[in-house]
């Protein structure tokens, strides 16, 4: 029996951070069981970077290096850049004809984002940004995906995708399956300051960062402010290091908590232990990244090959869609 198919995409934001590693490990783990299409959503990225898109190409290279380092396998999965498969734009355009404006206006991320980015001085009250989730629907339906691995924040987009499939199937002929979400359970990783990890907060730990940089990030982590001396009893529940120990050093967590509360371990040595564990995770990633980036044309070749495979599938879908729409 043919494997079920999954499709997922990521905007090219540049170097990824430790939070992304969990997403990538999840993707990599799906490669065995599923026929996978993973793509760089560069058109989606453009919706917020159109004023200065000069970093886009390098961001794509850096991100794909992280993908490969984390175990995405271009032999098994189709890895490509969205804009290398122009059929995404055609399908998006066709969908735009049948999609009521109100569907897009009520997507909860839309008004939120326009407002949030507006406060940062970015005007994204654009046609393209309104259509963002519909382009995403085209990305997914193009490959007739059975499932889409996403985080919880993307569920409204997936709902819109299913509604689009239903409407198309109803208006013309049943062409598209309704994809299910494959909720990836990734740990909520705080940044070093305790807020959500994000490049824009400068509180992130970059994938493949050098050992010295990694150690200094761990040193930056917020600990229990009430602890001045090692012997002061600690409150691990308010401490970022403690959160990380729970994710990356689970077997030692209970012991650390006990020692911390009793004032028997200092934050310096607690951080040192964590840094050692993170370094063991980072070391192979750093080396693999470096290798992929150093091999001339390697990433470009991966993406060329992926786009070729994606275009074959996309051409079939678009042909079928044109047929049933009567173009």
* Sites of contact with ligand TRP (CB under 6 A): 7-11, 41, 44, 136, 139-140, 148, 150, 154, 157
When CB distances are held under 5 to 8 angstroms depending on the partner's kind, the choice from ligand TRP, ligand SF4, none that residue 139 binds is ligand TRP
Smallest gap, in angstroms, from Cβ of residue 91 to ligand TRP?
Answer: 12
Kindly give the pairing relationship between strand 147-150 and strand 78-81.
unpaired
Q: Which two tokens stand for residue 168?
A: 């198309």
Smallest gap, in angstroms, from Cβ of residue 175 to ligand TRP?
Answer: 18
Helix, strand, or coil (residue 6)? strand
When CB distances are held under 5 to 8 angstroms depending on the partner's kind, the choice from ligand SF4, ligand TRP, none that residue 224 binds is ligand SF4
Judged by beta carbon, residue 134 or residue 218, the one nearer ligand SF4 is 218
Judged by beta carbon, residue 66 or residue 139, the one nearer ligand TRP is 139
Task: Find all residues with CB under 8 Å of 77, minimum gap 6, and list them.
Answer: 31, 36, 37, 38
Judged by beta carbon, residue 8 or residue 59, the one nearer ligand TRP is 8
When CB distances are held under 5 to 8 angstroms depending on the partner's kind, the choice from ligand TRP, ligand SF4, none that residue 140 binds is ligand TRP
CA dist 79 and 67 (Å) reads 9
CA dihedral defined by 212, 215, 219, 222, rounded to 10 degrees?
130
Query: Which secondary structure element, helix H or strand E, spans residue 318, and what is its range?
Result: helix 298-325
When CB distances are held under 5 to 8 angstroms depending on the partner's kind, the choice from ligand TRP, ligand SF4, none that residue 227 binds is ligand SF4
| CA neighbor of 191 nearest in space, from 169, 220, 162, 168 | 220
Residues 31 and 73: beta-carbon distance below 8 Å: yes
CA dist 138 and 87 (Å) reads 9
User: Which positions lie near ligand SF4, rule CB under 6 A?
Assistant: 223-224, 227, 234, 236, 239, 241-242, 256, 260, 265, 267, 270-271
When CB distances are held under 5 to 8 angstroms depending on the partner's kind, the choice from ligand TRP, ligand SF4, none that residue 241 binds is ligand SF4
């Amino acid at each position: 029996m043919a494997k079920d198919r999954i499709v997922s995409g990521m905007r090219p934001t540049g170097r990824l951070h430790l939070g992304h590693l969990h997403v990538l490990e999840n993707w990599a783990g799906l490669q065995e069981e599923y026929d996978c299409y993973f793509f760089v959503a560069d058109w989606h990225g453009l919706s917020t970077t159109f004023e200065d898109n000069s970093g886009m190409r390098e961001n794509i290279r850096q991100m794909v290096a992280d993908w490969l380092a984390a175990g995405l396998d271009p032999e098994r999965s189709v890895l490509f850049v969205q804009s290398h498969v122009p059929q995404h734009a055609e399908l998006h355009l066709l969908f735009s004809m049948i999609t009521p404006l109100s569907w897009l206006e009520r997507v909860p991320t839309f008004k939120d984002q326009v407002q949030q980015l507006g406060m940062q001085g970015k005007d994204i009250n654009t046609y393209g940004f309104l259509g963002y989730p519909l382009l995403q629907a085209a990305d997914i339906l193009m490959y007739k995906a059975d499932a889409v691995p996403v985080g919880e924040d993307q569920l409204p987009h997936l709902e819109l995708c299913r509604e689009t499939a239903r409407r198309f199937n109803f208006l013309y002929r049943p062409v598209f399956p309704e994809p299910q979400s494959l909720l990836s359970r990734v740990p909520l990783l705080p940044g070093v300051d305790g807020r959500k990890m994000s490049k824009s907060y400068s509180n992130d730990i970059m994938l493949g960062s050098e050992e010295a940089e990694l150690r200094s990030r761990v040193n930056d982590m917020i600990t229990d402010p009430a602890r001045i001396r090692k012997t002061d009893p600690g409150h691990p529940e308010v401490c970022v290091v403690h959160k990380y120990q729970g994710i990356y050093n689970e077997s030692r967590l209970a012991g650390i908590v006990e020692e911390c509360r009793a004032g028997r371990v200092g934050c310096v040595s607690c951080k040192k232990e964590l840094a050692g564990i993170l370094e063991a995770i980072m070391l192979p990633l750093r080396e693999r990244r470096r290798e992929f980036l150093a091999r001339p044309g390697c990433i470009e070749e991966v993406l060329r090959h992926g786009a070729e495979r994606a275009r074959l599938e996309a051409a079939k879908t678009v042909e079928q869609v044109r047929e049933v729409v009567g173009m």
